[in-house]
Structure 1
Amino acid sequence: WQERQSDPGRWHATAIREMSHTLARLNAPEHTCRRRALGNLFDRATLQDMRPDVEDHVRGLLDALAERLRADGEADLVPTVSERLPVRTVGHWLGIPAEHHAHILDFTHRQVHAQELLPTKSELAVSAAATAEMRAYFTDLIRRRRARPGDDVVSRWIRHWDAQYPGDRAAADRALYHLVMFITIASLETTATLLSTMVWLLLRDPGRWSWLRGHPEHVDNAIDEALRYDPPIHLNTRVAADHTVLAGVPVAKDTMVHVLYGAANHDPRRNEDPHTFDVQRKGSHLTFGGGAHYCLGAALARLEARTLLTHLLKRFPDLALASGPAYAPRMVFRRMTSLKVTT
């Protein structure tokens, strides 16, 4: 579809073409093959193994938050905690050195412009530069892991794709690059924004924070309500592969269809009184997508959110907002850039 479009500046842009090879943009049978090779990426056993590390990451980050609160009287939750937890979690899991985390976050924030609905030429240029850095980093990561393989996740993927492409190292490396790159960057901004959003929504009404401290059994419900009320991704785009009818509306082949997650989550036919944030709602949402493209990292994001919120409630019973959130000027990826808190 992209190859047939007449706007080379947009659809043939370097960063956009790069993301076209990731799982989120692939169709069957290639998508099926790659997804099947991963299996249940974050199954119960894997999450159980990761849980102690996530706990350690959270404790360390909350130490830093407490230190900042003592020193300044307030702290910014986003750069101090929310953005650091996902990159520490996935970085540790993939064996990425901690000293590289800041660089990965930096090019991820710049590359994501290409995934916006209406990127400008200057934003596409920023994304192109970030894509070059991203490609260089993950290509080198795979090269170094090949030189010193172990029993880590990336080494296991290398062995799998080498077996899938015997005698064709270049093809195996392409598959590995798009897999490792996508798994890493897809787990960063979205989870970071979820972590910040759930705290923001709970602290907007101080009674919610106090109530949830007394009813920790509702932590998972609070996370799901945050996912419903203000999803990290507000819309996604698909293209009709053929003439079809969607909910009674004719959709011609090649038509772009924008799936508005935020609007769907606030549909009163699905969630009564949808504009009220209700921790006990137990409603439904499309925030993780659905079907073949259901979010690979949904269970991991929930683990990180549950661990962070549980520790925050215990350690900072009097946590309060110092100011409202600030956001990057985007339409698709709703990245929160700042949330000042105090005690």
Structure 2
Amino acid sequence: MGDVVRAPWGGHFVTGFDACSQVLRGRNWLAPDFAWQGRRADIGRWDAPATREMTKALSRLNAPEHTCQRRSLGNPFDRSTIQELTPHVEQDVARLLDELAEVLRSGEADFVSIVSEQLPINTIGSWLGLPPDDYARILDITHRQVHAQELIPTRSELDVSAEATVQLRTYFTGLIEQRRANPGDDVLSGWIRTWDALEPDRATADETLYRLTMFVTIASLETTATLLSVMVWLLVSDPGRWAWLGEHPEHIEAAIDEVLRYDPPIHINSRVAADDTILAGIPIAKDSMVHVMYGAANHDPRRNEDPDAFDILRTGDHLTFGGGVHYCLGAALARLEARTLLIQLLNRFPTLRIVAPPVYASRMVFRRVTWLGVTT
């Protein structure tokens, strides 16, 4: 239908790889922040409490606020941090696969609930120093809050998200208060010291800390869990492919990249035009919204030949982690979790099989696999 396609509700879908890359990396394309929302005729669309809360998150900020918050984080998952986290992730994967093996002794198991959803919360929870007893609660809240980030949420979905958003704020503001009272050498304590130096007003600093801690936590959960589930589905559903990868582990990184390209955890991300512009030959007026379609871009045959074939040996490209100033903060961490899981799965479960295709939640933006049956 074209690189830029008119959306039924206004705005445009962006489907071509180069056009999507231009939007993600171009400085004249902005996140739909409060300033943009305030200029909209349909301002009521953006008044839902959960929507307004997420508009304060890092992914919805523009310069200079985005620049300030991003710099305060530095590169949280740099090489040294990944090296430090690696043995912890390896131990978590081994423990989760022990649990999987125990369930598989009785027949089949749900890979999602036992492994995919547990590894990301264990990883980010340990890194931030969250109490393990809170992991299940955080997962539950995240599953309910994410509706606010959908393209066209229903009123009932927004109500569910509103309740979850209140719970998120209560949890993370309480966490920051507790960490202030008992600071340590952990990541969150470091962020507190950084923002106390940057912001003289304690209430403003704590509000920023809440947004950062909440966003980093929930942004790393469903996206990585979906990546892990889809990775197992795409690789294990073809027994020959699974066996081949076990014999050629040097292609594990390439396999992960092909999973990311073939079926990204996020399918749509939205931006607005900072000025009147032309995108792939289509005039786009200032303040118009465009929807970057990651899956469509990754399947652009001009960038990836025979794009609908799943090919581990492909040497193409993908936009799954975004681009520009909003490039995914946790890309290296997601790769670490996927790589560690895949290595141990291949070693421990060479005869792993899929029981049935995965079950997905009914979503357009943040995809979530809710069930994936496996056996041996």
Range of TM-score over shorter length: over 0.9
State the shift of 1:5 in Å: 2.6
Match of 2:85 in 1: 50
Q: Secondary structure at the match of 1:85?
A: helix
State the shift of 1:4 in Å: 2.6
Q: Distance in 1 between the 2:374 and 2:214 partners?
A: 33
Structure 2 letter corresponding to 1:74 = E
Structure 1 letter corresponding to 2:207 = R
State the shift of 1:10 in Å: 2.5
- Which of 330, 334, 339 is equivalent to 2:367? 334
Match of 2:131 in 1: 97
- Does 2:112 correspond to 1:78? yes
Q: Distance in 1 between the 2:296 and 2:151 partners?
A: 16
Q: Superposition pairs for residues 1-343 of structure 1, below 5 Å?
A: 1-71=36-106, 73-166=107-200, 168-343=201-376
Q: Secondary structure at the match of 1:117?
A: coil
Consecutive unaligned residues in structure 1, runs of 5 or more: none
Q: Secondary structure at the match of 1:118?
A: coil
State the shift of 1:8 in Å: 4.7
Q: Distance in 2 between the 1:88 and 1:121 partners?
A: 32
> What do you get for the CA RMSD once the two structures are aligned?
0.8
State the shift of 1:248 in Å: 2.0
* 1:68-91 residue CA offsets vs partner (Å, 9 max, x unmatched): 0013x0000001000000000000
Q: Is the 8 A contact 2:144 2:160 kept in 1?
A: yes
- Return 277-286 or 263-272, whichever deviates more: 277-286
Q: Distance in 2 between the 1:247 and 1:324 partners?
A: 37
Q: Is the 8 A contact 2:251 2:312 kept in 1?
A: yes
Structure 2 letter corresponding to 1:91 = G
Q: Is the 8 A contact 1:3 1:12 kept in 2?
A: no
Q: Secondary structure at the match of 2:105?
A: helix
Q: Is the 8 A contact 1:194 1:227 kept in 2?
A: yes
Q: Secondary structure at the match of 1:100?
A: helix
State the shift of 1:23 in Å: 1.1
State the shift of 1:7 in Å: 3.5
Structure 2 letter corresponding to 1:44 = R
Q: Distance in 2 between the 1:204 and 1:187 partners?
A: 26
Q: Is the 8 A contact 2:37 2:43 kept in 1?
A: no
Q: RCO greater where, 1 or 2, for CA within 8 Å and sep 6 or more?
A: 2
* 1:186-244 residue CA offsets vs partner (Å, 9 max, x unmatched): 00000000000011001121101000000001001000000000000011111112111
Q: Distance in 1 between the 2:167 and 2:45 partners?
A: 20
Structure 1 letter corresponding to 2:183 = P
* 1:4-56 residue CA offsets vs partner (Å, 9 max, x unmatched): 33435430111111111111111011111111111111000000000010001
Q: Secondary structure at the match of 1:237?
A: strand
Q: Distance in 2 between the 1:294 and 1:37 partners?
A: 16
Q: Distance in 2 between the 1:66 and 1:9 partners?
A: 50
Q: Distance in 1 between the 2:275 and 2:159 partners?
A: 33
Q: Is the 8 A contact 1:9 1:121 kept in 2?
A: no
Q: Secondary structure at the match of 2:370?
A: strand
Q: Is the 8 A contact 1:5 1:11 kept in 2?
A: no
Structure 1 letter corresponding to 2:216 = I
- In structure 2, the CA distance between the partners of 1:244 and 1:8, relative to structure 1 (3 Å rule), is closer
State the shift of 1:285 in Å: 0.3
* Superposition TM-score, scaled by structure 1 size: 0.98
Q: Distance in 2 between the 1:276 and 1:157 partners?
A: 44
Q: Distance in 2 between the 1:3 and 1:133 partners?
A: 26
Figure out how many residues of one structure are paired with residues of the other and give that number.
Answer: 341
Q: Distance in 2 between the 1:339 and 1:201 partners?
A: 11
Q: Distance in 1 between the 2:62 and 2:91 partners?
A: 38
